[in-house]
A = this chain, B = another copy of it.
Amino acid sequence: MTSHTLTPLLRKLESRALLNDDDRAAILALPYRRQLVEREAYFVREGERPERSCLLLSGFAFRQKLTSEGTRQIISLHIAGDFVDLQGVMLNLSDHNVQALTRCELAIVARSDIRELACAHPTVAMAMWTDTLIDASIFREWVLNVGRRDALTRVAHLLCEIARRMEAAGLADRLRYEMPMSQEQLADATGLTPVHVNRMLRDLDRSGLIVRTNRTITIKDWAGLSDVADFNENYLHLDQLATEAARMQEMSVCAAAPS
Protein backbone atom coordinates (compact mmCIF):
# COMPACT_ATOMS: atom_id res chain seq x y z
CA MET A 1 0.00 0.00 0.00
CA THR A 2 2.95 2.34 0.49
CA SER A 3 3.47 2.36 -3.28
CA HIS A 4 -0.08 3.46 -4.07
CA THR A 5 -0.23 5.90 -7.01
CA LEU A 6 -1.75 8.61 -4.84
CA THR A 7 0.98 8.40 -2.19
CA PRO A 8 2.50 11.70 -3.44
CA LEU A 9 -0.85 13.38 -2.84
CA LEU A 10 -1.03 11.92 0.64
CA ARG A 11 2.49 13.18 1.36
CA LYS A 12 1.63 16.63 0.08
CA LEU A 13 -1.52 16.91 2.18
CA GLU A 14 0.22 15.52 5.24
CA SER A 15 2.72 18.32 4.89
CA ARG A 16 -0.14 20.82 5.02
CA ALA A 17 -2.23 19.60 7.98
CA LEU A 18 -2.35 16.90 10.64
CA LEU A 19 -4.40 14.06 9.22
CA ASN A 20 -5.78 11.00 10.98
CA ASP A 21 -6.01 7.43 9.64
CA ASP A 22 -9.51 7.98 8.41
CA ASP A 23 -8.42 11.02 6.39
CA ARG A 24 -5.52 9.08 4.91
CA ALA A 25 -7.73 6.21 3.84
CA ALA A 26 -10.20 8.58 2.21
CA ILE A 27 -7.45 10.28 0.23
CA LEU A 28 -6.06 6.99 -1.06
CA ALA A 29 -9.58 5.85 -1.92
CA LEU A 30 -10.03 8.69 -4.42
CA PRO A 31 -10.90 7.34 -7.88
CA TYR A 32 -8.27 8.39 -10.40
CA ARG A 33 -7.01 7.77 -13.90
CA ARG A 34 -3.32 7.70 -14.83
CA GLN A 35 -2.16 9.52 -17.91
CA LEU A 36 1.08 10.37 -19.64
CA VAL A 37 1.24 13.70 -21.44
CA GLU A 38 3.89 15.20 -23.70
CA ARG A 39 5.81 18.44 -23.36
CA GLU A 40 3.67 21.50 -24.16
CA ALA A 41 0.40 19.63 -23.55
CA TYR A 42 -2.36 21.66 -21.93
CA PHE A 43 -3.88 20.40 -18.68
CA VAL A 44 -6.26 23.33 -18.41
CA ARG A 45 -7.21 26.07 -20.82
CA GLU A 46 -8.40 29.55 -19.93
CA GLY A 47 -12.17 29.81 -20.29
CA GLU A 48 -12.82 26.12 -19.71
CA ARG A 49 -15.14 24.74 -17.06
CA PRO A 50 -12.91 22.45 -15.04
CA GLU A 51 -14.19 18.92 -14.45
CA ARG A 52 -11.04 17.33 -13.10
CA SER A 53 -7.81 18.12 -11.32
CA CYS A 54 -4.34 16.83 -12.09
CA LEU A 55 -1.80 15.49 -9.63
CA LEU A 56 1.71 15.67 -11.05
CA LEU A 57 3.35 12.27 -10.45
CA SER A 58 6.50 13.15 -12.37
CA GLY A 59 7.76 15.97 -14.55
CA PHE A 60 7.25 19.74 -14.47
CA ALA A 61 4.36 22.00 -15.37
CA PHE A 62 3.63 25.72 -15.35
CA ARG A 63 0.74 28.17 -15.20
CA GLN A 64 0.58 30.80 -17.87
CA LYS A 65 -1.54 33.70 -19.13
CA LEU A 66 -1.43 35.56 -22.43
CA THR A 67 -2.03 39.23 -23.19
CA SER A 68 -4.24 40.16 -26.12
CA GLU A 69 -1.02 40.91 -28.02
CA GLY A 70 0.09 37.34 -27.55
CA THR A 71 2.94 37.89 -25.11
CA ARG A 72 3.10 35.23 -22.45
CA GLN A 73 3.62 35.47 -18.71
CA ILE A 74 4.44 32.37 -16.73
CA ILE A 75 2.71 32.65 -13.36
CA SER A 76 4.18 29.70 -11.46
CA LEU A 77 5.99 26.41 -11.70
CA HIS A 78 4.89 22.99 -10.52
CA ILE A 79 6.96 19.97 -9.72
CA ALA A 80 6.27 16.30 -9.08
CA GLY A 81 3.93 15.91 -6.12
CA ASP A 82 2.08 19.16 -6.75
CA PHE A 83 -1.66 19.07 -7.13
CA VAL A 84 -1.94 21.39 -10.09
CA ASP A 85 -5.26 23.07 -10.70
CA LEU A 86 -6.69 22.53 -7.26
CA GLN A 87 -8.35 25.92 -7.66
CA GLY A 88 -10.47 24.37 -10.42
CA VAL A 89 -12.22 22.35 -7.72
CA MET A 90 -14.02 25.42 -6.43
CA LEU A 91 -13.85 27.96 -9.26
CA ASN A 92 -16.23 27.36 -12.12
CA LEU A 93 -14.30 29.03 -14.89
CA SER A 94 -10.60 28.64 -15.50
CA ASP A 95 -8.81 32.00 -15.65
CA HIS A 96 -5.44 30.78 -16.94
CA ASN A 97 -3.66 27.97 -18.76
CA VAL A 98 -1.73 25.09 -17.23
CA GLN A 99 0.79 23.42 -19.45
CA ALA A 100 3.37 20.63 -19.27
CA LEU A 101 6.95 21.89 -19.17
CA THR A 102 8.35 18.39 -19.68
CA ARG A 103 6.75 15.04 -20.31
CA CYS A 104 4.51 14.37 -17.30
CA GLU A 105 2.82 11.49 -15.57
CA LEU A 106 -0.53 12.53 -14.13
CA ALA A 107 -3.17 11.15 -11.85
CA ILE A 108 -6.45 12.71 -12.89
CA VAL A 109 -9.17 13.06 -10.28
CA ALA A 110 -12.76 14.20 -10.82
CA ARG A 111 -13.68 17.54 -9.31
CA SER A 112 -16.83 16.09 -7.76
CA ASP A 113 -14.82 13.39 -5.97
CA ILE A 114 -12.54 16.00 -4.43
CA ARG A 115 -15.52 18.00 -3.29
CA GLU A 116 -17.07 14.97 -1.66
CA LEU A 117 -13.78 14.24 0.08
CA ALA A 118 -13.61 17.83 1.32
CA CYS A 119 -17.18 17.77 2.62
CA ALA A 120 -16.70 14.52 4.47
CA HIS A 121 -13.22 15.26 5.83
CA PRO A 122 -12.82 18.83 7.04
CA THR A 123 -9.17 18.33 7.91
CA VAL A 124 -8.44 17.23 4.34
CA ALA A 125 -10.37 20.25 3.08
CA MET A 126 -8.21 22.47 5.23
CA ALA A 127 -5.05 20.78 3.96
CA MET A 128 -6.11 21.46 0.38
CA TRP A 129 -7.10 25.00 1.28
CA THR A 130 -3.66 25.48 2.83
CA ASP A 131 -2.01 24.13 -0.30
CA THR A 132 -3.78 26.70 -2.46
CA LEU A 133 -2.85 29.42 0.05
CA ILE A 134 0.80 28.55 -0.35
CA ASP A 135 0.37 28.80 -4.12
CA ALA A 136 -1.13 32.25 -3.57
CA SER A 137 1.83 33.24 -1.42
CA ILE A 138 4.15 32.31 -4.27
CA PHE A 139 2.07 34.41 -6.67
CA ARG A 140 2.49 37.37 -4.33
CA GLU A 141 6.25 36.96 -4.32
CA TRP A 142 6.20 36.80 -8.11
CA VAL A 143 4.24 40.06 -8.32
CA LEU A 144 7.02 41.63 -6.26
CA ASN A 145 9.75 39.96 -8.28
CA VAL A 146 8.41 41.06 -11.64
CA GLY A 147 7.15 44.45 -10.45
CA ARG A 148 9.99 45.83 -8.40
CA ARG A 149 13.25 43.98 -8.92
CA ASP A 150 15.87 44.52 -11.61
CA ALA A 151 16.68 41.89 -14.19
CA LEU A 152 19.66 40.29 -12.44
CA THR A 153 17.75 39.97 -9.18
CA ARG A 154 14.69 38.49 -10.89
CA VAL A 155 16.67 35.77 -12.60
CA ALA A 156 18.67 34.97 -9.47
CA HIS A 157 15.46 34.81 -7.45
CA LEU A 158 13.92 32.31 -9.80
CA LEU A 159 17.05 30.16 -9.66
CA CYS A 160 16.85 30.17 -5.87
CA GLU A 161 13.16 29.31 -5.80
CA ILE A 162 13.61 26.36 -8.12
CA ALA A 163 16.62 25.12 -6.14
CA ARG A 164 14.84 25.33 -2.84
CA ARG A 165 11.62 23.74 -4.04
CA MET A 166 13.39 20.89 -5.77
CA GLU A 167 15.36 20.23 -2.63
CA ALA A 168 12.20 20.29 -0.51
CA ALA A 169 10.55 17.83 -2.90
CA GLY A 170 13.55 15.54 -2.69
CA LEU A 171 14.22 15.89 -6.42
CA ALA A 172 17.65 17.46 -6.31
CA ASP A 173 20.35 18.99 -4.24
CA ARG A 174 19.82 22.66 -3.51
CA LEU A 175 23.25 23.36 -4.95
CA ARG A 176 22.93 21.40 -8.16
CA TYR A 177 19.94 20.72 -10.35
CA GLU A 178 18.92 20.44 -13.92
CA MET A 179 17.01 23.48 -15.04
CA PRO A 180 13.72 22.28 -16.54
CA MET A 181 13.10 25.57 -18.39
CA SER A 182 14.54 27.04 -21.56
CA GLN A 183 15.84 30.60 -21.47
CA GLU A 184 12.74 31.69 -23.34
CA GLN A 185 10.61 30.23 -20.57
CA LEU A 186 12.80 31.84 -17.92
CA ALA A 187 12.15 35.11 -19.74
CA ASP A 188 8.39 34.58 -19.66
CA ALA A 189 8.59 33.81 -15.95
CA THR A 190 10.61 36.93 -15.13
CA GLY A 191 8.95 39.40 -17.48
CA LEU A 192 12.16 39.82 -19.49
CA THR A 193 13.35 38.92 -22.99
CA PRO A 194 15.29 35.72 -23.70
CA VAL A 195 18.28 37.77 -24.79
CA HIS A 196 18.45 39.63 -21.53
CA VAL A 197 17.94 36.47 -19.45
CA ASN A 198 20.92 35.04 -21.27
CA ARG A 199 23.05 38.03 -20.32
CA MET A 200 21.95 37.87 -16.69
CA LEU A 201 22.82 34.17 -16.49
CA ARG A 202 26.20 34.96 -18.03
CA ASP A 203 26.75 37.68 -15.43
CA LEU A 204 25.84 35.34 -12.57
CA ASP A 205 28.23 32.82 -14.06
CA ARG A 206 31.06 35.34 -14.51
CA SER A 207 30.67 36.62 -10.97
CA GLY A 208 31.24 33.07 -9.76
CA LEU A 209 27.86 32.55 -8.12
CA ILE A 210 26.73 29.76 -10.45
CA VAL A 211 28.22 27.45 -13.06
CA ARG A 212 26.22 26.28 -16.05
CA THR A 213 26.92 23.12 -17.99
CA ASN A 214 24.18 22.57 -20.54
CA ARG A 215 21.05 22.85 -18.42
CA THR A 216 22.68 21.90 -15.16
CA ILE A 217 22.88 24.75 -12.68
CA THR A 218 25.54 24.44 -9.99
CA ILE A 219 25.30 27.04 -7.27
CA LYS A 220 28.81 27.84 -6.09
CA ASP A 221 27.80 30.33 -3.44
CA TRP A 222 24.29 29.93 -2.03
CA ALA A 223 24.61 32.85 0.37
CA GLY A 224 25.93 35.09 -2.39
CA LEU A 225 23.26 34.07 -4.87
CA SER A 226 20.36 34.40 -2.44
CA ASP A 227 21.77 37.77 -1.50
CA VAL A 228 21.73 39.19 -5.03
CA ALA A 229 18.36 37.42 -5.47
CA ASP A 230 16.85 39.16 -2.43
CA PHE A 231 15.64 35.63 -1.62
CA ASN A 232 13.84 34.94 1.64
CA GLU A 233 12.26 31.53 1.59
CA ASN A 234 9.46 32.33 4.07
CA TYR A 235 7.00 32.76 1.21
CA LEU A 236 7.37 29.08 0.28
CA HIS A 237 6.01 28.07 3.70
CA LEU A 238 8.11 24.92 3.67
CA ASP A 239 7.84 24.50 7.43
CA GLN A 240 4.07 24.82 7.48
CA LEU A 241 3.58 21.40 9.06
CA ALA A 242 6.08 21.90 11.87
CA THR A 243 4.64 25.25 12.86
CA GLU A 244 1.15 23.83 12.44
CA ALA A 245 1.84 20.99 14.87
CA ALA A 246 3.27 23.41 17.39
CA ARG A 247 0.31 25.74 17.14
CA MET A 248 -2.31 23.00 17.30
CA GLN A 249 -0.94 22.11 20.72
CA GLU A 250 -1.28 25.72 21.85
CA MET A 251 -4.82 26.00 20.64
CA SER A 252 -6.18 22.43 20.67
CA VAL A 253 -8.63 23.25 17.92
CA CYS A 254 -9.96 20.62 15.54
CA ALA A 255 -7.61 18.30 17.41
CA ALA A 256 -7.65 15.10 15.38
CA ALA A 257 -11.17 14.07 16.33
CA PRO A 258 -11.96 10.77 14.61
CA SER A 259 -14.50 11.69 11.94
Which residues of A are interface residues toward B (Cβ below 8 A)?
A: 46-47, 49, 63, 65, 67-69, 71-73, 75, 87, 90-93, 95-96, 112, 115-116, 118-120, 122-123, 125-126, 128-130, 132-137, 139-144, 146-149, 153, 190-191, 230, 234-235, 237, 240, 243-244, 247, 251, 253-254
Say how far A45's CB is from chain B's closest CB, in angstroms: 12
Say how far A135's CB is from chain B's closest CB, in angstroms: 6
Pairwise interchain contact B144-A147, C-beta atoms closer than 8 A: no
**Which of chain B's residues have a CB closer than 8 A to the CB of A112?**
251, 253
Pairwise interchain contact A95-B237, C-beta atoms closer than 8 A: yes
CA distance A245 to B244 in the complex (A): 34
**Which of chain B's residues have a CB closer than 8 A to the CB of A71?**
148
**Which of chain B's residues have a CB closer than 8 A to the CB of A137?**
87, 91, 95-96
Residue of B nearest to A189 (CB): B147
| Given A115-B254, A143-B73, A143-B143; A90-B129 close (CB under 8 Å) | yes
Pairwise interchain contact B247-A91, C-beta atoms closer than 8 A: no
| Given A65-B144, A144-B73, A147-B191; A87-B136 close (CB under 8 Å) | yes
Say how far A173's CB is from chain B's closest CB, in angstroms: 25
CA distance A95 to B254 in the complex (A): 24
Q: List 13 extra interface pairs beyond A91-B134, A139-B139, CB under 8 A.
A: A65-B141, A67-B230, A73-B143, A73-B144, A73-B147, A87-B137, A95-B237, A122-B122, A125-B129, A129-B132, A132-B133, A136-B136, A146-B146
CA distance A1 to B192 in the complex (A): 54
Say how far A186's CB is from chain B's closest CB, in angstroms: 12
